[in-house]
Structures are given as structure tokens and as C-alpha cells.
Structure 1
């Protein structure tokens, strides 16, 4: 295997060295491709030092040296990648020693387009743990049981009850399989572009579960994570999800191969977030959200937890 690990770098001078070195521990990693995205801190200098120190580390910036977001940075990294397989890693996260154990076996089958696993949590400070433990706890981010590829897409859309999800940090994809994707990361999405990408990826490609009962990568939680601020509601999550589901709905309307029931489900979810985000509806909007989308799913554990949480 020749794996290219793509790391978008923004405001991560204190973390990116650990991320890079965690990827370099594997002989299967052919290269680590860092894309520095006009960080406001000293991350660019740290990246330069890493590229000078390690022959497998390559550093790029956008042609205009500007800030274009994580999606555009990952796209550029994939464009530059020379490996046969693509893996992703955020600059403040890191891989564990078992990261590619399942991949080495599963990719022997040419029908396998991608493999996903589970990620754990690491708090970089006591302050971060105090602030965000209620959001992440010590739980794995994972699909809860092994699924067939055909069941992954509807499951991630919450059409299968309590299902779970996986993260980019635990995904490895055959590079040639990405040729069938008309678009990679949607660059106009500043948040949740990874979720939108994973939805489409799970529809078009055969993604198989690897290690899902133990972490293969670790999410680093600190005070400055943008996605951490969203999940903890420092940034209003409903408004960002309206943008996400508007994009998913736009894709669904144009993807003629989608079954009608899935297209309808996506439209309902999108409308529910629009309703939930309407300021004059508030809690009634959240109630309507669950009634409009999939009433039977309210009985599932995940939906019940979220339903009660939003009504508090």
C-alpha cells in the first residue's frame, strides 16, 4: 500500500507536529501532504520545519497563499497526492498504532473502495475537558455495528434508527475510486463540508467497516476547535446545519439515481432544520423537526437523546 495522508493546516502550530509524526510511524504511509491555509499563528513555520526534517512530508499552500478553508485545502492535497490510497487527518488530531491494520487486509479485495473505523477523544487541557466533556465524553465516534456498504448511506441519513457515524480521520479511500466523484469537498461550505462529502461518498462508493469497536485515530479537543464550538453551541448549530442540508438537498434533487423515498427524506430533514432555526418557533420548531422528518425514529435511542436535549 502507498497511502497519502492529507492534512489541512490552519491555526495549529501547537498540534501539527504530533499529527504528522503519528502518520509517519507507518511504513504504508508513502507521504504526508500538508496544505497550509494562511494560518494566523506560526503554523506555516512549523510546517516548513517538518518538511525539512522528514523526506516523506510535503508542504503546499494555495496558489494565492490565501485562506480557502479545510475543504479546498483537502481538495488541493488530493490533487497533489501521489499515493494509491488517500487518508485524512486534521492538524490537531493524530493516528494510533492500529490505524491501518484493517485496511491492509480489506484492500486486498478490489471491490473495496474505502474503509472506515472509530475515533476516540483526547483533551489537550483541563480547561478544554471542563468545557467540552459534556459534548464528547470519552465516547467513540463510530458506526455502532458492522454494516454492508449498501446500508451505510441511508444509515448516515438517520433512516436506520440508532446507527452512529464515522469521521474523516478514520477513513481511507482508494484514490482511483474518487474518479467517479463529480465533486470532492464543496469549497463554499465553511463548516460540515466533511459531513456532506461523507454522505455522497457513502452513496457512490463501497465503504466497508474496519475497526469500529476501538479507536484508530484520536480527535484532539481544545478551546479553539471550530467544530467543537459548533457542537457545544458556542456557534449556533441549527443555522450551520441549515446550510449543510440545503447543499445535501440540492445534490439529491439533481442526482437522478436516488430512490424517491431517500430524496423525500432528505427534503424533510432540510425543511425541519429550516423550521427549527426559525427564531419565532424556538422549542416548537424542534418538536416540529422530529414530527416532520421521521416520527418512528423518535423512539430510537439517538433521536430520543437529541430530542430531550434540545427541549431543555
Structure 2
């Protein structure tokens, strides 16, 4: 039997929080649901306290200074508090489906596997949120990878090195990871990233840990799409999006250098970072820098972002 700690970062989620918790707490595999509240301005803290008082599996924490520290630091605190052998994550406006741990029951029978992930679906909670999401993204019912993979193939696929398209990413809500693997590799969320810290974490996890795809043809969790989703708000402003992506890929490049990744991996990460850096240049300076970078690194054309993404 799995013993899973479900970590839910909570910030201004009063409308959705109870559904998220209820979707997780009933599983026999779930040892505890950890609510980490990040200085909400709505009734989320009261709801957390109420839920914790009603079920001993639900535990409530806040940062020691009661301040707002962002999703990365909030999830990190959840990891520190977790007592289960396995860690999963759930955003407070999302929820698990009944098949959430079906793949895990089989995959973790093999001790070489340290993590498993699956597909996530969409639930449009508001009409405005639906319109914003469909304007920014393809109206796909699933966010998932294209084929089953394990080990280094996943890391290579996420960076776009495989001969066929693997997929942009898998969602954090579908990940189950052994806590021992996080501790052994000193893996935590980058607290300096206010957005994209989940993507940053997933790339590093895929490099350091032996992962396997689970259920990828149907959802194991659902994303709630509503008026206040952060990612659609950021993408409304291309310059802000490019800036956040630049910071994210710079974080990955610094990590790649520190961990002495192969030149092939390091170069690809650098070029993704550079493509967003170049996208923020203006006028003649922009095209001069693009030309200089292309002469130095023609492989920049192999990145899916290139330098004119969201120009």
C-alpha cells in the first residue's frame, strides 16, 4: 500500500479548496493532505482550519512569519512537513479523479522507478476563464505526453531531443514521487521563481530521478480554469511572458552548469534561455543580437521557441 502525502498550496482559493481536498483525502493511499496557506486575503485560512478539524488526515500549516512567499516556497514547506513515503501535489483550484493512483500501484512494484506521472484534463469553471484559456492555448481536452517513456528518455523528450514529439511537459498534479528521491538529490522548488517554478522542478526531477509515464491517454486529475488563472493573465502581456520565460530558462541554465550536464543538454537549455532574452531586445539592437547569436549558435533554430516567440 502506498502512503502518500498530498501537498496543496493555498492562496485565495476559498471557492475551490473544499472540492480539491475532498478529491484527495478519501483515497486509501493518501496518508495525509497537507494544506500550506500563503497569506490569503480571503477566507481560505478559516476553511483550512475547519477542514483540519474535521479529519485527522488533513493538516494545516503556514509560513513561520505568516507571510506570502509564493507557490515554490509554499510547496517546499509542504515537502518538509510531509511524513509519507510518496509526495504528490494538487493545486487548490484543481482536483483528483478516481483513477489518480491506479498506475502507481503497478509502477512502484519495481523499485527502480522513483516517480510516475500521467495526463490532466480541463474543467471550465467560468465562461470568462474558458474564453481566456481558449484564446491563449489550443482547446485540447488533455495535457499529456505523446508516448510512454521512462528514465532519460523523459528528460530528453522534455527538452525536445527525441526524434518524435514527446510533449511540452506533464502537469505537477499528476506526479507521484518518492520523498527519498527528493532528499537524495536535494530537489526543491526554486523560490526565486514566482511563476514556472513547477516547470523548473519537473525538468530537474526528470534529470535526477528515474521517472516513468503512467496513464497518459485519459485524465487522472483536472485543472480548474477560471477568471484568475495566473498563466493566462501573464500571457496577455507578451513582454511580461518573455521576461518570465527568460528568468525560468536562466534558472535552468545555471543549474545545468552547476550540475555539469553534458554539452548537448547545456547548449539546448542555453539556447532556449537566449531565445527569450533576444525576444526582449528592441529595434536594430534586437536584429544585430539575433544575427550575432545565429552566427555563434545556428542550432538556435532547432529550439521550439526561437528568438521571435511572442515578439
The question of a shared fold, defined as TM-score above 0.5 by the shorter chain, is answered with yes
What displacement does 1:252 show? 0.9
| SS of structure 1 residue aligned to 2:188 | coil
1:268 pairs with 2:266: no
Q: Does the CA contact (< 8 Å) of 1:132 and 1:232 recur in 2?
A: no
Which residue of structure 2 aligns with residue 12 of structure 1?
13
Which residue of structure 2 aligns with residue 241 of structure 1?
245
What displacement does 1:277 show? 1.9
- Could you tell me which of 187, 193, 202 is aligned with 1:198? 202
Deviation string, structure 1 residues 187-236 (Cα, Å, up to 9, x no partner): 11111111111111000000000001111111111111212322454772
What displacement does 1:259 show? 1.2
Give the alignment of 1:299-310 within 5 angstroms: 303=304, 310=309
Which residue of structure 2 aligns with residue 151 of structure 1?
153
Q: 1:289 to 1:139 in 2, by over 3 A?
A: farther
Q: 1:215 to 1:233 in 2, by over 3 A?
A: farther
Q: 1:25 to 1:287 in 2, by over 3 A?
A: farther
Mapped to 2, the partners of 1:202 and 1:77 lie a distance apart of: 20
Mapped to 2, the partners of 1:33 and 1:175 lie a distance apart of: 14
Q: Does the CA contact (< 8 Å) of 1:286 and 1:310 recur in 2?
A: no
Mapped to 2, the partners of 1:289 and 1:92 lie a distance apart of: 44
Mapped to 1, the partners of 2:216 and 2:287 lie a distance apart of: 36
Unaligned runs of 5+ in 1: none
Q: 1:284 to 1:40 in 2, by over 3 A?
A: farther
1:222 pairs with 2:217: no
| SS of structure 2 residue aligned to 1:23 | helix
Q: 1:216 to 1:290 in 2, by over 3 A?
A: farther
| SS of structure 2 residue aligned to 1:236 | helix
Mapped to 1, the partners of 2:146 and 2:293 lie a distance apart of: 22
| SS of structure 2 residue aligned to 1:253 | helix
Question: TM-score normalised to the size of structure 1?
Answer: 0.90
| SS of structure 1 residue aligned to 2:146 | coil
Give the alignment of 1:50-89 within 5 angstroms: 50-89=51-90
Question: TM-score normalised to the size of structure 2?
Answer: 0.90
Q: What stretches of structure 1 move > 3 A for 4+ residues in a row?
A: 231-235, 279-298, 309-312
Unaligned runs of 5+ in 2: none
What displacement does 1:237 show? 1.2
Which residue of structure 1 aligns with residue 101 of structure 2?
100
Q: 1:98 to 1:278 in 2, by over 3 A?
A: same
Root-mean-square deviation (Å):
2.6
Q: 1:187 to 1:224 in 2, by over 3 A?
A: same
Mapped to 2, the partners of 1:297 and 1:111 lie a distance apart of: 33
